[in-house]
């Protein structure tokens, strides 16, 4: 992967913000450069306050800023596809479903296409709405509000009030962090407020999050772990999260790399 130093540092920054930590050796192999070159890149990022060096690599400095949507969409893309398929396997025909904003929710929208579920979808995401706008039998309701640049999500009082008007079956929510004690957290205050409004509007909460979200706590608390009915992920949850989920009645579903036929999911 031949890129210049500035582009390599941009990609490293996106990766460390999305994953929380990086290793010198893995980055060197990924970019086809020496570990010394990677260490110099990390020095630059550390001087900007983005990362902090540790033995063998670097971690995000403090409460990390939210990575750009495009960077998040590209990271763990295959895992998000499997998670999305597992989520869709747990939806039923003619449900009213709230689909969150974010890259994982967009993956779920793509997995809905062709599933013949004839859903009513309520969403604060312009990208999700566009993805499902011409899906046969699907009704799409787009929340109002202020457009958040980059994310193309709708935030603010109007977006929150939109969910007060609806009573939905399921909310499929994406998050940036999952912790046994802190529960579900995210980067952005107004977007998190919209998530909380959507939780109140739905009878069932499915949280869709890849394994990199475990053990992270971000700025804004969304809800306790026990607020979820189902947590769909792509790897084994840490023991403390598994124990807390079991104690709260949360079902943890590990997405298979093999597509689950509809009607066979448990």
130, 189: one domain: yes
**pLDDT band at residue 82 using 50, 70 and 90 as cut-offs:** very high
165-195 pLDDT, tens digit per residue, is: 999 999 999 999 999 999 999 988 899 999 9
Cα distance between residue 207 and residue 116, in whole Å: 22
pLDDT value of residue 259: 47
Digit-coded pLDDT (tens) for 20-35: 778 898 899 999 999 9
pTM for the whole structure: 0.73
Is pLDDT of 71 > 60?
no
Task: List the CATH number of the domain containing 55.
Answer: 1.10.10.10
pLDDT for 163 beyond 60: yes
The answer to whether residues 100 and 195 belong to one domain is yes
In a domain, 266, yes or no: no
Q: Are residues 227 and 146 in the same domain?
A: yes
DSSP state of 210: -
Instruction: Identify the pLDDT of residue 266.
Output: 35
Strand, helix or coil at 177?
A: strand
Residue 13 has pLDDT above 70, yes or no: yes
Residue 30 is part of which domain span? 5-60
Stated as kind and residue range, the H or E segment containing 202 is: strand 202-208
Flag whether 182 is in a domain. yes
Kindly state whether residues 139 and 14 are assigned to the same domain: no
How many domains in the chain?
2
Rounded CA separation 171/207 (Å): 8
pLDDT digits (tens, 9 = 90+) for 27-56: 999 999 999 999 999 999 988 877 878 777
Q: Residue 86's pLDDT band (boundaries 50, 70, 90)?
A: very high
Q: Is position 260 within any domain?
A: no
Q: Give me 29's structure tokens.
A: 């192999």
Please count the other Cβ atoms lying within 10 Å of the Cβ belonging to residue 226.
Answer: 13
Quick check: is 187 in a domain? yes
Domain co-membership, 40 together with 171? no
232 and 126 in a single domain? The answer is yes
Give percent of the chain with pLDDT exceeding 90: 67
Q: What is the mean pLDDT of the chain?
A: 88
């Amino acid at each position: 992967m031949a890129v210049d130093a500035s582009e390599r540092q941009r990609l490293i920054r996106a990766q460390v913000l999305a994953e929380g930590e990086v290793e010198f050796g893995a980055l060197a192999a990924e970019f086809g450069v020496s570990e010394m070159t990677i260490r110099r890149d990390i020095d630059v990022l550390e001087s900007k306050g983005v990362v902090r060096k540790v033995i063998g690599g670097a971690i995000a400095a403090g409460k990390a800023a939210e990575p750009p949507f495009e960077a998040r969409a590209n990271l763990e893309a295959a895992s998000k596809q499997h998670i999305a398929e597992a989520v869709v396997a747990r939806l039923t025909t003619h449900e009213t479903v709230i689909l969150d904003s974010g890259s994982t929710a967009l993956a779920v929208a793509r997995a809905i296409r062709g599933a013949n579920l004839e859903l009513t979808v309520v969403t604060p995401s312009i990208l999700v709405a566009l993805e499902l706008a011409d899906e046969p039998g699907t009704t799409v309701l787009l929340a109002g509000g202020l457009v958040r640049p980059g994310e193309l999500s709708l935030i603010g009082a109007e977006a929150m009030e939109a969910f007060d008007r609806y009573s939905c079956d399921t909310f499929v929510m994406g998050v940036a962090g999952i912790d046994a004690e802190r529960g579900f957290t995210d980067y952005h205050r107004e977007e998190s407020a919209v998530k909380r409004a959507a939780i109140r509007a739905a009878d069932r909460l499915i949280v869709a999050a890849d394994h990199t979200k475990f053990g992270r706590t971000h700025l804004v608390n969304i809800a306790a772990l026990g607020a979820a009915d189902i947590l769909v992920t792509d790897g084994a949850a840490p023991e403390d999260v598994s124990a807390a989920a079991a104690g709260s009645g949360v079902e943890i579903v590990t997405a298979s790399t093999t597509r689950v036929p509809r009607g066979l999911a448990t």
